[in-house]
């Protein structure tokens, strides 16, 4: 079931997304599922503002990020570890040991994936934030990825690497070819999901997710089976929806 909210611009999308989140982030011992990419950055700004102005504390909050590139050191400016610290963790009072980001720079990524899934399973995620790739991927679960997947290693599609080249000075050769990612089944365990998408290049993926057939060709279409998904869109991302 999708609850769809359509707003005029990114600022309003971020505020509406925070509205959906706010009771959860303010509750005691919240477990948050966090995402990277440009889509949630405005929401993270809202969380930081709320922390500064209203004193919302994250000292007992636990978070789990969705994914990480394989082969980039944590300190790399484009690692998701760095992204999360710059865009959220450094500005709120979450404890470093409670803020989980998959480890992609290690000798045995398969083992790292198994350990991440085991840790994630100890918790119930109260709300999972998602963006969506222009090919319909969520986290780094690319088309073809099985619906019952748990945290695993994924080869990135050419389209995803092209989309993400903008973060690597436009040079696709700099974009890693592999990632460690929560699986589709891992994501589906979250109690509540909020997916944020803006811009015309997301319109087809949004249409396929909501109105298309449920198929691994559009990984996000698995969300049709979740009973609590809020989708926050701008008009461009919503432009191909029929109703």
**Any catalytic annotation for residue 142?**
yes
**Any catalytic annotation for residue 126?**
no
Please, which residue, 67 or 150, has the CB nearer to ligand GLP? 67
Please, which residue, 56 or 134, has the CB nearer to ligand GLP? 134
Q: Nearest approach, Cβ of 124 to ligand GLP (angstroms)?
A: 21
Q: Nearest approach, Cβ of 38 to ligand GLP (angstroms)?
A: 4
Residue with tokens 């050419």: 158
Q: Catalytic pick from 137, 150, 152, 208?
A: 137
Q: Which two tokens stand for residue 199?
A: 């811009």
Among 67, 142, 208, 234, binds ligand GLP (CB under 6 A): 67
Among 120, 127, 132, 222, binds ligand GLP (CB under 6 A): 132
**Any catalytic annotation for residue 217?**
no
Q: Nearest approach, Cβ of 175 to ligand GLP (angstroms)?
A: 10
State the Cα–Cα distance between residues 15 and 194, nearest whole angstrom.
Answer: 13
Q: Is 104 in the site for ligand GLP (CB under 6 A)?
A: no
Q: Is 109 in the site for ligand GLP (CB under 6 A)?
A: no
**Site size for ligand GLP, by CB under 6 A?**
14
Q: Nearest approach, Cβ of 15 to ligand GLP (angstroms)?
A: 17
Q: Catalytic pick from 126, 142, 208, 234?
A: 142
Q: Is 66 in the site for ligand GLP (CB under 6 A)?
A: yes
Burial label, 90 (beta-carbon count in 10 A; 0-12, 13-18, 19+): exposed
Among 140, 149, 187, 221, binds ligand GLP (CB under 6 A): 140
Provide the b/e sequence for 33-51 (b: ≥16 CB within 10 Å): bbbbbebbbbbbbbbbebb
State the Cα–Cα distance between residues 187 and 171, nearest whole angstrom.
Answer: 30
State the Cα–Cα distance between residues 24 and 31, nearest whole angstrom.
Answer: 9
From residue 144, alpha-carbon distances to 31, 114, 213 in Å are 29, 21, 14
Write out the binding residues for ligand GLP, residues 21-40 only, by CB under 6 A.
Answer: 35-39
From residue 202, alpha-carbon distances to 75, 112, 137 in Å are 30, 31, 11
C-alpha triplet 108, 111, 112: angle, nearest 5°: 85
Neighbour order of strands in the sheet with 67-69:
67-69, 178-181, 152-155
Could you give the string, one character per residue 182-211, with x where binding to ligand GLP holds by CB under 6 A and - elsewhere?
------------------------------
Torsion, Cα 28 2 232 181, to 10 degrees, reads: 70
Q: Is 233 in the site for ligand GLP (CB under 6 A)?
A: no
How distant is the alpha carbon of residue 209 from its chain centre? 15
**Any catalytic annotation for residue 137?**
yes
Q: Which residues bind ligand GLP (CB under 6 A)?
A: 35-39, 66-67, 131-133, 139-140, 160, 164
Q: Give the active site residues.
A: 67, 135, 137, 142
């Amino acid at each position: 079931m999708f609850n769809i909210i359509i707003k005029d611009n990114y600022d309003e999308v971020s505020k509406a997304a925070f509205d959906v989140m706010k009771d959860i982030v303010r509750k005691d011992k919240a477990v948050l599922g966090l995402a990277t990419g440009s889509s949630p950055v405005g929401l993270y700004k809202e969380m930081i503002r709320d922390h500064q102005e209203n004193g919302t504390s994250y000292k007992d909050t636990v978070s789990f990020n969705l994914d990480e590139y394989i082969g980039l050191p944590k300190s790399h400016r484009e690692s998701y570890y760095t992204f999360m610290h710059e865009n959220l963790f450094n500005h709120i009072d979450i404890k470093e040991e409670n803020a989980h980001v998959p480890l992609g720079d290690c000798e045995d990524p398969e083992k790292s994936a198994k350990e991440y899934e085991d840790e994630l399973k100890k918790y119930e995620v109260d709300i999972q934030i998602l963006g969506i790739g222009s090919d319909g991927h969520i986290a780094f679960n690319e088309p073809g990825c099985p619906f019952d997947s748990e945290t695993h290693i994924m080869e990135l599609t050419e389209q995803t690497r092209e989309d993400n080249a903008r973060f690597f000075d436009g040079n696709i050769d700099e974009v890693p070819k592999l990632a460690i990612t929560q699986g589709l089944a891992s994501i589906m365990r979250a109690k509540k999901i909020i997916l944020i998408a803006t811009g015309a290049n997301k319109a087809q993926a949004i249409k396929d997710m909501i109105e298309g057939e449920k198929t691994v060709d559009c990984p996000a279409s698995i969300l049709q089976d979740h009973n609590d998904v809020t989708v926050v869109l701008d008009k461009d991302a919503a432009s191909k929806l029929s109703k």
